[in-house]
Structure formats: structure tokens, C-alpha cells
Amino acid sequence: MNGDIAWLLISAALVLFMTPGLAFFYGGLVKRKNVISTMMASVFIMGMASILWVLFGYSLSFSGDVGGIIGNFQWLGLNNFGAEPGPWLPNVPNLVFAIFQMMFAIITPAVICGAVVERMRFTALAVFVTVWSIVVYYPLAHMVWGGGLISQLGAVDFAGGYVVEINSGVSALVAAIVVGTRKHHGKITYHPHNIPYVFLGAAILWFGWFGFNAGSAGGANLLAAHAFMTTNTSCAAALLTWMFIEKAHNNRPTLVGASTGIVIGLVAITPGAGFVPIWASIIIGACASGICYLFITMVKPKLRHDDSLDVFICHGLSGIWGCIATGIFALTSINGVAKWNGLAFGETSLFIRQIAAVGITIVISVAGTLVALGAAKLVTGKLRVPVSTEDIGLDIAEHGENAYPSYLGLD
């Protein structure tokens, strides 16, 4: 038991480290006058999501079951448990599982923020992600991992394909549409202001994702090693595929593109990391880069929405592919949580359930995000900053700070 406890706690720390990594990844992609406001969103969520999780988030996600939708208040304030194992991991104390799962509740709303950077008010964003955690994240975590509707359906999600990736990606798309476009969207080309930040963030995410996926094995065991290897393999395949496509399409690979490929490969393997053969992770990662590159370069330019940092494509779309791919390549011999083998091995039941769970997740994410945005507008009055604030930059206007005070050039 002690080894399993140690691995879960280390994995939790790795997953927490991913949120600062995400802050650097997003911060490097925006204009220099908005890097602090972009990073500040992740910093706020690290505090807010932690407190909510302790107060009632874990209880609503993992205690009891109310209609297959949500838990109850049995563990309100993390009372009534501690050293004894919970119902989900019999080999570690319930508190350890609560700590590990808390880190997922932190990074998921932080992912959404990339879709509305450079124009959403900080106060509105703070209210939105708080309400969103309550009306979207906790119910979906319960439905997938807490014995609710999606788990009852027979769909599987090893480490967050539905709960984290599709959920955040679809919510990001809805938020981007409702908040509206940036002032110059469609008129100018946006360029990353700090490409080394982008790669630093991607590298931290790659490192932390081993806790994200291998930690989801629930202990220091062979399944954790399997998930570790599939995670790295998918990431590597997506990275190389993205660079190859860029070379073929634009005659030069880029560091931003390679960093994007890293993230896409990690997202795609997340739902199947502990279900699919290692060789299948090469296919999953490579296909994810191909799908996402096609959408970013050919589909998105034809649409009018302003998903600033392509959150829906990199997380939502790649997550959808990953969940479907799990239904194609999963093997019960790798993980008996899957009740059926995948489509590639002659069975259709899991594949159909994976697609159904994708649909359920999308509906919940869309509806809950609209509710959370409505609440944010009701409380704060406006979702976005004035045009004059966009010109000044949110760093100075919203936080009174300048990331590069000695820089005197044009932005």
C-alpha cells in the first residue's frame, strides 16, 4: 500500500505542475501585453478549484449517487473519511484519491481559458469557471468515474478523455462564440510573442502528463507502466507527424507546431492510455496530428468564431478522436475495466458506447457552459473588456502589471 500511496501523491504533484505549464504554453502564444492576464487565469484557478474541491467538489463527484448525475454531500468538507480506502481505489486511503483527483479539477477549467484570452474580463472569468466547475465538471466526473450514467453505460475513460479533454474543448468553443471575437479578428494574423515560453509549457505538460495518465492506474503497478509508455509513444508520434506535415505543407517545421503536436498527442491517448496496446498509441497520436492540422489550417479559417488558442481543436477534437480510438483499439486483456474489446478486434459494443458517451459529454458541456456564462454575465454585468482595454492590453488594464517593463517597441 505504501508504494501505491507514494505513486499517487507524486502523480498528483505532477498533475498540479501541469497547470503552471499550461500557463506558460498559453502565455507564450498571446501578445506580450496580455501574457500576465493569461497566466493569472491559471493561477486563480489553482486556488479556487482547490478550495471548492475540499468544500464540496470531491463529495459531489465521488460520494453516493443521485440519479446517475451527481454525488451527495456525504464527504462535505472532506469529513467522515481519511485513512480507510474509498470505494474507487481499495489499495490507498480515500484522502489520497481525493488529492489526486483534485488536480484534474484544477487543470480542466484552466484549459478553457485559452479560448477567451485577450478580451474576457477577469472578474467574469472568475465567476464563470467557479460556476462551471459546479454545474459541469463535478457532474461529469461523477458520471464517468463516480459510478454515474456514463460508467453505467459501459463507456471507459482511463484518465480524462471525456471529463477533461472533450469537456474543456467543447466548453471553450461555446465560451469563444458567446464572448465574441477579438477586435482585429479576421483582419490581422496573430503571432506568439514568446515561442520559448510555448515550448517550455509544452515540455512541462509532457512531463506532468505521466502523472496524469500513469497515475490514473491507481497504484505503482504494471498498468501504470503501460500507461506511461502509451502516453510517451502517442506524444512522440503526434510530434513527429505534425513536423512532417508542416514540412510537406509549408516546407519548414516550426517549434510552435512541434509544441502543438506534443499537446495533441498527449490529449489523444488520455482516454485509452490504460486500455490500448502500445503499438496502437502510434496510430492514435499520428492520426490526432493529422486531424487537428487539417482543422486548424483548412476548416477553422472558414468559420467566424475566435477560439483564440485552438482549444476546441487541440483538446476537444483530439479528445473526441481519442475516445473513439479507445473504442477501436481497447483490449480487455490489458484492463478488465473495459467489458468488451475494441472494433479492431471484432467487437462493436464498446465502440458504440464510446460514441454515445461522446454525445452525452458534448450535450452536458454545451448546456452547462451556457448556464455558467449566463451566471457570470448576471453577476458581473459584462463578459468582455471594452475595446479601449483590448488596445491597452489586459495586463495593465486589469492587473496593473507589465510583463516586460523595459520593452519599448511595438506589440
2-399 folds as Ammonium transporter fold (1.10.3430)
The more confident residue out of 189 and 260 is: 260
Global pTM?
A: 0.96
Flag whether pLDDT at 166 surpasses 90: yes
Mean of pLDDT over the chain: 95
Q: Where are the beta strands (DSSP E) in 107-195?
A: none
pLDDT tens digits for 278-305? 999 999 999 999 999 999 999 998 888 8
Tell me if 27 sits within 8 A of 194, measured CB to CB. yes
Please indicate whether residue 183 or residue 355 has the higher confidence score (pLDDT). 355
Residues 36 and 403 sit within 8 Å (Cβ to Cβ)? yes
Farthest CA pair distance, the chain:
63
How does pLDDT run across 51-88, given as a tens digit for each residue? 999 999 999 999 999 999 999 999 999 998 777 888 88
Give the closest residue to 350 by CA, choosing from 331, 333, 322.
331
Instruction: Give the residue among 58, 147, 55 at the shortest CA–CA distance from 94.
Output: 58
Q: Which of 286, 255, 252 is nearest to 269 (CA)?
A: 286
The domain limits of the chain are: 2-399
